[in-house]
Structure 1
Amino acid sequence: MNQNEYEVIIIGGSYSGLSAAMVLGRSLRKTLIIDSGKPCNRQTPHSHNFLTQDGSTPQEISKIAKTQVLKYDTVTFYEALATGAKKTKKGFEITTSLDTTFKAKKLVFATGIKDLIPKIKGFVDCWAISVVHCPYCHGYEIKNKKTAIITNGEKAVHITPLVHNLTKNSTLITSGKAGFSSEQILKFKQNNIAIIEKEISEIVHTNGQLEKIIFKDGSKENFDCAYAAIPFEQNTTIPMELGCELTEDGHLKVNSMFQTTVNGIYACGDNSTPMRSVANAVYAGNVTGAVINKELADASFNNVKAIKIYN
């Protein structure tokens, strides 16, 4: 195995990628992590709901994780952007933004997703600070506040009871005609949740802290925070170029062992599940690393040439 050949290449060096790398490093697997240094949660001030690190910044968690993973001498971290890939007879070949090429038997995508921020003034400044996506990750910190829930249809039906558990002062903003059944509308009314069908023109804030929402008709309403369900896309098209299938929601399709629909390619973290959290990403990476090591170990064990035994 030459300098640019590895047993496993992991594209993405955040929580799930580092978690997979730790398992592989402890299993003596020659592993390369390729990461561009731009995690999708870089604007999030604090991470929560993860044992031993509740309230730490994402950067603090990643720094500790990277330091611990790189103690294993078979793991290498390479800062670059993976720009292309192709299948080879022995596995896969990856090219990067630095015009380097690496080869591996197994490939892991821990690349996360890219949130498609709506073109609303102030939205991007508040995203992950006071306009958030997850009541488990951020809900405790904004409990009992006047809260907007910016979504519609089934996504609103899913998240509204979770938000209502944390605050009894919430309003649904559907940004257009509400897509609810009469029974669902009645349930919102019974829980004192108003519905605003107006479209948003601006989110007024101070340093990312939401203060009020201005609607396109000129009306406005004060809020302390908001939840928003916004669309996303994969951070990279490389898995699809290699033949990996997506789910109807746009996640990479994986089985319970985090194997994609292409043999030898795995995906873990936000790119393959709607459960976006540090804890879930670490879990997914841990399982992925173990599955890959088992496959490599079995292949090596079973390919040993038979030795003739003489009496």
Structure 2
Amino acid sequence: MAAAETASATIPSYIKGWVYSQYGKAADVLKLDSNVPVPELKDDQVLIKVVAASLNPVDSKRMLGYFKDTDNIPTVPGYDVAGVVVKVGNQVKNFKVGDEVYGDLNVKALEYPTKHGSLAEYTAAEEKVLALKPKNLSFVEAASLPLAIETAYEGLERSGLSAGQSILILGGAGGVGTQIIQLAKHVFGASKIAATSSTGKLDLLKSLGVDLPIDYTKVKYEDLPEKFDVVYDAVGETDRALKAVKEGGQVVTILPPGLPPAIVFILTSTGETLEKLKPYLESGKVKPLIDPKGTFPFSQAVEAFSYLDTNRATGKVVIYPFP
């Protein structure tokens, strides 16, 4: 434990973090605070010096007060994190000081999410939501993955997609959609992949492995003669999705309420999924996708949220570097 003690000696008591104390849009409520207390460590947690964090639509919805029944403020937002372990709780078995880790901090996305997320210089995370960062990925790339790739994987698993089947992905160019495409192809063995996007993103879909890119501004996918074994709805169009699935096929959606018989689910975050997908990430078969705007520095978190909220991002919006 000597290493942990040495590392903890350099950990400040107060740090910089982005905080909101009332609900609303980031531009109105998110403020930089230089006196955020470093989180107290529970026995099953590690303290992480944050190197990069990515934003997700759930961060914005939470900030708007969508989950206030199980949430409370003030809050440091941010689900996804990549960084270095600087201290470990007494019961932590798999990580040590100095490990480079990444993960989605919230076990259940909407139920009692942490008040101290990843948009601060340090954050605490339960051991079970973390995995060691693949060596071939930068911290920026790693930070872009957890919530999106875990959501993609859990939905594909729930859909029952198996090798040789076809899938239609609604919202193929987004943070989750870009991962669904790659996992459907390389992990689940789909024989045909169709996906929707706007006109300018069709080439991106092809580059990720989509056989049938569909321009949603010109084509109604539910009117296509071809139907699919699985439709994965990442945009909230379950009513239309149900018309595009084969009889006996399955629709899965990540946006409540969803319509029966579609499967609606909210991600359960686990480092096990990241470990399972590590070979695909390390081989380069499955790649992180960062928005072409690149990264927003920590000081521009508000601008990053404003951009995310336009729904025009391709892949993920990442906050980097941190102070």
Q: How high is the TM-score relative to the length of structure 1?
A: 0.28
Larger Rg: 1
Q: Does 1 or 2 have the higher relative contact order (CA < 8 Å, sep 6+)?
A: 1
Q: How high is the TM-score relative to the length of structure 2?
A: 0.28
